[in-house]
Structure 1
Amino acid sequence: MSERDDPLTIGRRVQQWRAERGLTQKQLAEPAYTPAYISTLEAGRARASDEALKHIAERLGVAFDELVTGRSARLATELRLQLTGAQRTLATCATEEAAELFAAVLAEAERHGLVEEKVAALLGLGECGIDTGDLDAARHRFEQAEEALAGAPLTARVPALRGRATAHYLAGELRYAVYLLESTLDELNRGGLHDPDALLLLYASVIGPYMDMGAHARAAQAAELALALAPQAGDPALVARMHRSVARTLLAEGRIAEADASLAKAAELYRGLQIRTELAHCHWMRGYVCAQNGELDRAEAELREARAMLSAKRAALYTSQVAVELADVLHRRGKSEEAAALLQEVLTDLSSERGALHSAAAHRLLGIIAEDTRDTEAAEEHYVRALSLLERAGAAGDLADLCRLLGDLLRRTGRVEAALDAYRTGLGHRTAPGTTTLGPAPAQPPL
C-alpha cells in the first residue's frame, strides 16, 4: 500500500504540520470542513478525498503532492538539475565524475520513488559504462531502465533499448544488436508511433552494425530515413549523431565530399553543444574519410586529435578503437614499427567480448605488417585470431577480405588445399544474403 492510500500516515503528517504552523483543528478545517472531520482524519480513521486534501494542503501552505507523498515539491526539480549537471559532465569532463553524480541522483530517486529521475540516472550510468568500456555494467543499467519503464509506451523505452543494443554491438554481438534495433523500429512504425527523436536515434544507431555486417543496402536505407527525419527532430545532439553515422554510409557509396560535409555539420553542432566525446567521434570519422580518400597526412592528424580527446575523456574502449584506425594510417605512411607498437598496446584493452571488431582489425593489420617483414608464421597466427573474432561477431564483409589475405599467405607458402579452403570460406561470406538479421527489413515510417 502506498503512502497516498495510507490514511494513518497522511493523518500523522497533517497533525505534525498543523502543529508546526500553530494552527488549531478549527482553523485548518474552516470554512469547508468541521474540526471533528480534521480530528478523525488526523487519527487515521478516515480516508480523505482529493478535494479535502487539496483544501488542507492550501491551508498548510504546501503542495498537494507533498502532502500525500511526504516528498518536497522541489525534490524532483532539484534532481533534474543534478541530472543536467551530470549529463554536462559526461559530455565535457571525466566519465568517472559523471558516474558519481548519476549514482547520487539514482540513490535519491530510488529513495523517494521518483521513476522518471531514476530512469534518467540509469541511462546516464549506462552511457558512462559505454564510454569506459565496461559493457556488462552498461548493459545492466540499460536493462534496469527498461524494467523501470515496463508499463510505459515504447517511445519512452527507446533510449534504454538503443543503449542495450549499443552495448551488445560494441561487445561484438552484431546480429543481436541489429535485431533489437530493427524489432523496435518495426514495432514503432507498424504501431503508428511516429516519434521523430526516437526513430532518428534508432536509425542512426543501426547504421554502424549494418556496415560492419556487410549489409550496405540496409545501411544506406537507414541513412536516407535518418536524413528525412532530421528536420523533425527536436534534439540537436541527435541530429549531430545522425550526421556522423550517415557519413559512414555515404563513404561506402563513394560519396566522399558529401560524407565530409555531413561530418562537418555534426562537428559544428557538437561544438555548439560542447559535447567533447561526440566531437571526438567526428574527428575520428573525418580521419576515416580522409584515409579512404588517400589523404593520409590529414587522416593521421584527425585520428590523433580524436584519440587525444577520447583519452582525456577517459573513454577507454573508444580510445583503443580509434588507435587501431590510426595504426592503419601509420602503416600506410611507412611508419610500420610505430603502428605495430600501438596495436600491441591497445590489444591489451580489447577482447572478443569488448571491442571484438577492432581487436580483429588489430590482428589483421599486425598480420600484414608481419608479412611485410617476411614473418609468415606470425602473420598466419594474427590472421587466424582475427578470423575467429570476426566469425563470432558475424562481420561478413571483413571476413571475406580476411579470408583472401589468409588464402594468399597459405598459397605463397605452398599450402594450396588450405588456401582453397580459405578462399571458399571467404566467397561464402561474400555471397551471403543481403539481410543479416532474423527477418525482413522493418516497416518504414510514414514520411
Structure 2
Amino acid sequence: MLGTSYRGRRKGVAVRAGSVEQARREARLTLAQVAGGKLTRTAIHLIEKGRTRPSMETLQQIARQTHKPIEFFLNPDAPAALTEGQSQLRELERLTAVRDLDHVVEMGLTLLAQRWSAEDAAVIRLSVGQAYCRMVRPEEALEHLRIARPEFERLGDEWMAVEALDWESSALGLLDDPGALPLANRTLERCRRLGPGAAQIEARILGHIAGMYVVTQSWALAVRYYEEAVDVASGVKDLLQLAKMHHGLGVAYERMHQGGAARQHFDKALALYSMENDQASIWRVENDLGLLLMTQSQLDSAERHLLAALNRSTELNIERRGRGFTLVNLGDVMLQRGRLASAADYLAQALEVGEATGERIVQAEARVLLGQVEDRNGNASMVDEHFEIAIQILEELRMPDRLRDAHMEYAELLDARRDVIGASRHWKRAAVISKLSSLGMRWTATPPAERVASAGPTGAA
C-alpha cells in the first residue's frame, strides 16, 4: 500500500461513458487543447477511456473547453466514489503533470508491487519510464518503456503505444544509441497516422529528432526539425515545448555561426522557461549562452554565464548528464585565456564526469581540448594520445561533422609541429569525410592497425 503522503485525495466524478470524447470531437479539439495547459494530454486520454475519473475541477475544465454543461457528462446511475486503484492512478498522473519526478518514480514503483490489470500496469510503467527519461536515467527508463509499449500495442491503443515509443527513442538517444534516430522517425510516421489531434505529441517527437541531430552536430537538419516543431507546438500553445524548440534552435544557429539568430532564440527560451519556473532548463540555457559568448570572444561574459550554470547545477544536485558539457566549456574558456592549469583542471573533471555517465561526446570534446592544452605545454606524445582517443570515439559515434573538425584541429597542430606527413593525412581525411557527408554516405573508421602505426610525433594519425 501507499504511504500516508498518497492518502486522502478527493473522490472522482462518475461520468457517462464516451461523453468526454464525444464532447471533444464535437468541439473539434485536440486532447492538448482540452487539457488547456492545466492537465496533460494523457490525463484526458485516460478519462476518455474510462481508466480514471476526473475530479470536479477537472470536469469543469473539460466542460469549459468543450462548451458543454456539466450535466452532459454526468452518469447519475454510477457510484460516485473512485476505487482506491483509480485514485492512485489519478494521483500518479497529477504528479506526472506537475513534473514531480522523484515522487512519480517513488509512487510508480510502489504501485507496480501491487496487483493491476495489464492495461493499468502499462500506464504506470509509461509514467515511470517518462520520469526516468526526464531525470536522464535512460537505462532505468527502458526497463519500463519496453514492457509498456508492446502491451499498449496488444490492447490496440495506438495513441499510448506512440507515447511509449517516443520516450523509448528518447532514452536510446540519451545513451547515444545509433538506433535512436531510426526509431524516432518510425514513431513520427505512426504519430502522423493518428490524425491532427496528435499535434502535441508530434511536436515533441519532432523536437526529440532535432535534438538527436544536435548531438550528431548536423545543424541544418536540426534547424529544419526544430522549426517544424515550433510550427506544430505553436498550434497547441504548449509553453514548455515552445521553450525547448527555441532553445534547440539557439544551439543549432550558434553552431552554424549565426550568433544574432542564436541569441534571439536563447532569449525566447529563457523567457518561456522562466514563465514555467523550469530551473533545470534555465541552467542549460545559461550554459549555452556561455558557449555562444565564448565563440564571440566575450570571455568575461562567457565565464560568468558558465559559472552560473555550474553553480546552478550544484544547487539542483545535477551530478549526472549535462554537467560535463559545462565543465568542457569552462575548460575551453580557460584555454583561450591562456590559463592552462585551470583549463586542464576543468577538462579533467569533464572527462571524469563523461566516463562516469557514459557520455562519450563529452569524453571526446574533453580529449580534443586536453590535446590542445598539452600542445601548449609542449607534450607531443600526450597530444597524440588525446586526439587518437577523441577521433576513435567520434568515429564510433558516427558524428561526421565533429569528426571532420577534430581531424582538422589535429592537422593544424601537426602542421605547427612540422609533421607534414601526419598533417597531410588528417587534412585528407577531413576532406573525404566532408565529401561523403555531403553525399549522404558514411565515413568508414580508420583501421586500428593504421591508427597505431601512425601515432607519435613523427607520423601522428
Q: Same fold (TM over 0.5)?
A: yes
Indicate how the Cα distance of structure 1 residues 308 and 202 shifts in structure 2: closer, same or farther if over 3 A, else same: same
Alignment partner, residue 401 of structure 2: 397
Alignment partner, residue 223 of structure 2: 220
Alignment partner, residue 75 of structure 1: 85
**SS at the partner of 2:354?**
coil
Aligned residue among 337, 350, 353 for 2:354: 350
**SS at the partner of 2:437?**
coil
In the TM superposition, what is the alpha-carbon distance from 1:370 to its structure 2 partner?
0.7
Tell me how far apart the structure 2 counterparts of residues 265 and 148 of structure 1 sit (CA, whole Å).
39
Alignment partner, residue 435 of structure 2: 431
Aligned residue among 155, 174, 179 for 1:170: 174
Q: Within 5 Å, give how 1:16-31 maps onto structure 2.
A: none
2:316 is the counterpart of 1:328: no
Alignment partner, residue 104 of structure 1: 110
Unmatched 5+ residue regions in structure 2?
Answer: 1-74, 443-461
Residue type of the partner of 1:398?
Answer: R
* Length-normalised TM-score, structure 2: 0.70
2:132 is the counterpart of 1:126: yes
Indicate how the Cα distance of structure 1 residues 138 and 115 shifts in structure 2: closer, same or farther if over 3 A, else same: closer
Contact 2:203 2:233 survives alignment (8 Å): yes
Alignment partner, residue 412 of structure 2: 408
2:305 is the counterpart of 1:299: no
Contact 2:411 2:426 survives alignment (8 Å): yes
Indicate how the Cα distance of structure 1 residues 423 and 352 shifts in structure 2: closer, same or farther if over 3 A, else same: farther
Aligned residue among 273, 278, 282 for 1:275: 278
Indicate how the Cα distance of structure 1 residues 120 and 189 shifts in structure 2: closer, same or farther if over 3 A, else same: closer
Q: Please identify the structure whose Cα radius of gyration is greater.
A: 1
2:210 is the counterpart of 1:207: yes
Tell me how far apart the structure 1 counterparts of residues 193 and 107 of structure 2 sit (CA, whole Å).
38
Contact 1:170 1:354 survives alignment (8 Å): no
Aligned residue among 229, 238, 241 for 2:241: 238
Alignment partner, residue 94 of structure 2: 84
Contact 1:267 1:282 survives alignment (8 Å): yes
**SS at the partner of 2:355?**
coil
In the TM superposition, what is the alpha-carbon distance from 1:432 to its structure 2 partner?
2.0
Indicate how the Cα distance of structure 1 residues 414 and 249 shifts in structure 2: closer, same or farther if over 3 A, else same: closer
In the TM superposition, what is the alpha-carbon distance from 1:267 to its structure 2 partner?
2.0
Tell me how far apart the structure 1 counterparts of residues 231 and 420 of structure 2 sit (CA, whole Å).
50
Tell me how far apart the structure 2 counterparts of residues 279 and 346 of structure 1 sit (CA, whole Å).
20
Tell me how far apart the structure 2 counterparts of residues 219 and 384 of structure 1 sit (CA, whole Å).
28
Aligned residue among 264, 268, 281 for 2:267: 264
Residue type of the partner of 1:203?
Answer: L
**SS at the partner of 1:324?**
helix
Tell me how far apart the structure 2 counterparts of residues 246 and 408 of structure 1 sit (CA, whole Å).
30
Aligned residue among 121, 138, 141 for 2:141: 138
Q: Within 5 Å, give how 1:417-428 maps onto structure 2.
A: 417-428=421-432
Residue type of the partner of 2:375?
Answer: E
Aligned residue among 365, 368, 373 for 1:364: 368
CA RMSD of aligned residues (A): 3.2
In the TM superposition, what is the alpha-carbon distance from 1:382 to its structure 2 partner?
0.6
Residue type of the partner of 1:123?
Answer: G
Tell me how far apart the structure 2 counterparts of residues 225 and 392 of structure 1 sit (CA, whole Å).
29
Indicate how the Cα distance of structure 1 residues 111 and 308 shifts in structure 2: closer, same or farther if over 3 A, else same: farther
Tell me how far apart the structure 2 counterparts of residues 312 and 90 of structure 1 sit (CA, whole Å).
17
Indicate how the Cα distance of structure 1 residues 194 and 81 shifts in structure 2: closer, same or farther if over 3 A, else same: closer
Higher RCO (C-alpha 8 Å, min separation 6): 1
Contact 2:371 2:383 survives alignment (8 Å): yes
Indicate how the Cα distance of structure 1 residues 349 and 111 shifts in structure 2: closer, same or farther if over 3 A, else same: farther
Tell me how far apart the structure 2 counterparts of residues 303 and 90 of structure 1 sit (CA, whole Å).
27
- Worse overlay, 195-204 or 101-110: 101-110
In the TM superposition, what is the alpha-carbon distance from 1:255 to its structure 2 partner?
3.4
Tell me how far apart the structure 1 counterparts of residues 134 and 227 of structure 2 sit (CA, whole Å).
30
Alignment partner, residue 381 of structure 2: 377
Alignment partner, residue 147 of structure 1: 150
Deviation per CA, 1:265-284: give whole Å up to 9, x if none. Answer: 22222222222222222222
Indicate how the Cα distance of structure 1 residues 336 and 208 shifts in structure 2: closer, same or farther if over 3 A, else same: farther
**SS at the partner of 1:349?**
helix
Tell me how far apart the structure 2 counterparts of residues 265 and 351 of structure 1 sit (CA, whole Å).
33
Indicate how the Cα distance of structure 1 residues 424 and 186 shifts in structure 2: closer, same or farther if over 3 A, else same: farther
Alignment partner, residue 161 of structure 1: 165
In the TM superposition, what is the alpha-carbon distance from 1:385 to its structure 2 partner?
0.8
Tell me how far apart the structure 2 counterparts of residues 239 and 186 of structure 1 sit (CA, whole Å).
21
**SS at the partner of 2:321?**
helix
**SS at the partner of 1:433?**
helix
Aligned length: 366
Tell me how far apart the structure 2 counterparts of residues 358 and 176 of structure 1 sit (CA, whole Å).
20
